[in-house]
Amino acid sequence: MEKIPVRHIKATTKEPNLSGGFHIRDIKHLLAGKDMVQELHRHSFFFLLILKKGSGAHSIDFTSYPVKNNSVFFMRPGQVHQLVLKSGSTGYLLGFGPDFYIPATASAKEVLRKVSSKNFCQLMRDKSGKLFCLLDYIIDEYTRKQDRFEDAIRSILDIFFIELLRHSRTPGSREGSAQLYAQDRLEELQELIETHIETHKQVAFYADRMHLTPFQLNAITRSTLGKTCSTLINEAIILEAKRYLTATSHQINQIADQLGYEDASYFIRFFKKHTGYTPDAFRRSHA
């Protein structure tokens, strides 16, 4: 079955691909005085849009975000997005494959999970200089390609993600250990749901994978988001259905089957209950 269009990191004759996949582009040079328009698609890699100056429109997984100065968009592999970036925007596009940047420690892995769980981050203007200095350093390493430059880029990414995580937290907030624990487990749950949603839709499955009871898991989702775990699972199903409806020409019964529903009519009722639209009507509204 045809999948949603996926973009990959490709090597060029001037810039051969690094092992595992990595690239960084200067937005000003990339735009060359013209607008950038990217239609709905996925990436097979992590994708970051880091703006010093920017305007346009950006939708990630059908959620619209403001495109403005000093902002960062972070997309995980598999997420769907559309982008219109106006000429005059400045900053960087950065992409890396899961095999290029493999966190070397449990702490670095946690930082990547936390920072990539938020698709949009508004940078603190007075503290954003350090981030852009790190990006300048990365593009210098990428351009010069001196001895062990790939290792240097990975090391700078370690620092970049820590710095970005600092920006993503509310200034002056102090979370207690219980809140931090709940947030960590929530992010773990969201990653599991994103991976297994087409085959597993029961709260018990995710609770078992996380070594929790369904009651404990629901307590975590209620305390952090005010939602039950079942609600998060249903939202993930609807999101994946929207991705297929807008980015493929599959028949409704094919999409239902892809999402693990043997009865297409049940899937149609489920979709309408949660969106107010039938799948066909939703597809027509986004044509």
Residue 72 has pLDDT above 70, yes or no: yes
> How far apart, in Å, are the Cα atoms of 206 and each of 62, 193, 256, 280?
25, 8, 22, 31
Range among 13-17, 186-190, 269-273 rated most confident: 269-273
pLDDT of residue 275: 95
Contacting residues for 249 by C-beta, under 8 A, at least 6 apart: 2
pLDDT of residue 227: 94
Q: List for the chain the helix, strand, coil content (%; round to 5).
A: 50, 20, 35
Which tens digits make up the pLDDT trace of 82-116? 999 999 999 999 999 988 999 999 899 989 988 99
Could you tell me the pLDDT band of residue 5, with boundaries at 50, 70 and 90? confident
Task: Note the CATH number of domain 177-285.
Answer: 1.10.10.60
Which tens digits make up the pLDDT trace of 151-198? 999 999 999 999 999 998 655 445 567 777 888 899 899 989 999 999
Q: At what angle are helices 214-225 and 229-247 packed, to 10 degrees?
A: 70
Count of CA atoms in the C-beta half-sphere (13 A) of 133? 6
Q: Determine if residue 88 is left, alpha or beta; phi over 0 gives left, psi from -120 to 50 gives alpha, anything else beta.
A: left
Task: Note the CATH number of domain 6-168.
Answer: 2.60.120.280
Could you tell me the pLDDT band of residue 13, with boundaries at 50, 70 and 90? very low
Domain(s) labelled CATH 2.60.120.280 in the chain stretch across: 6-168
Query: Percent of the chain scored above 90 by pLDDT?
Result: 71
E-strand ranges in the chain read 6-7, 22-26, 36-43, 46-53, 56-60, 63-65, 71-75, 80-85, 90-96, 120-122
Cα-to-chain-centroid distance, residue 90: 21
What gap in Å lies between CA 244 and CA 255, rounded to an integer? 7
CA-closest candidate to residue 272, choices 264, 282, 263: 282
Please give the structure tokens belonging to residue 136.
């300048």
pTM of the model: 0.78
pLDDT of residue 157: 98
Considering only residues 118 and 252, tell me which one the structure prediction assigns the higher pLDDT: 252
